[in-house]
Amino acid sequence: MEAASWLLYLLIAVLVFFSKFSIVFAYLLPLVLFLQYTIFIWMIPLNLNWSRGLYSHLLWKSILLICGTVFSFSVVYQFYGVIDSATGKTINNYLTSLYFSVTTWSTLGYGDFKPVDSMRLLTSFEAILGVLSSPLIFTMIWKYCDFRIWDTSNEDEQKERKALNLRLDDTGVWKQIDENGQLIELTQKYELNPCRKCGATDLKVERYFEIIGVVSPRMRFMVYCKCGNYIYGKHMAMTAAHAWNKKNPKKNG
C-alpha cells in the first residue's frame, strides 16, 4: 500500500505535466487524487494499530498529500489561466494560480478571481478534496492530543513496553521477543547485497523499537552486519533494504 501511494504521486506528476497539452489529463488528476486520499484513509488505522509510533509518519504524509493537491491544481490553473473578476483578463501568473488554488481548496472563494470556462468543473473537484482534507488534519491533531494526554507518564510507558515484551539485544537496540524469550524476526525476506566491509551475506532486515523521547515505543527497521556495518532508522522494511543496497553496491565481476 505504501508503494502504491508513491506510484500514485508519480502518476499525479505525469498528469500535471501532460495537462498542458490536453485538458483530459487535467480532469484525470482529481480521480487519481481521490484514490490517493482513499489509500491514506485506509493507512491510518493499519499503521496506528501496528504501532502508535507511526503517528508522525502519517502526519507528514497528510501534509504532503494536502500540499500535493494544492500545488498540482495550481500548475494546471497556470496552464489554462484564471480570470481577474475586476478586469475580465485571463492571467497565467503562477502565484496568482497558487492563490486561486488555495482559496478553492479551502472553499473560501473570495470572488476576486474565477476559473476559465474549461476549468469550472475542475475547481469543484478541488473544493471537494479540500472538504475531504479537513477531517484528516483534525484527526491527526486529535490523535496527537489523545496520545499526549494518556501516555506521557513513565508508568504508562513501562506498561506499554512490557506489553510489547521488548528487550535489549547484543547491538544495544530494543527488539520484541515472544513468550519463550526468542527475538521475533521478520518472515519476509529481502534481497540484500553483501556487506562491503567484510563481504558477509548472512544479512536480514530486522525490526526494532525506539523508546527514548517518544510518547510510545516507535517501530523502525534496520539491516545489521556482525562487523558493525548497519543501516537503521527506516519507517519501512523495504526502505531499509533499499538503503543498505545503496550503501553496499555489488562489486563488478
Whole-number pLDDT of residue 152: 46
224-250 pLDDT per residue, tens:
888 888 888 887 888 888 899 999 988
Residues 137-195 have pLDDT tens digits of: 887 777 777 666 654 455 555 555 556 777 777 777 777 787 777 777 776 778 899 99
Cell of 148: 499526549
pLDDT higher than threshold 70 for residue 61 = yes
Quick check: 64 pLDDT over 80? yes
Question: Taking residues 114-125, what's their average pLDDT?
Answer: 93
Q: Which domains does the chain have, with CATH numbers?
A: 2-150 (1.10.287.70), 154-247 (no CATH)
pLDDT, average across residues 24-33: 94
Tell me: pLDDT of 19 over 60. yes
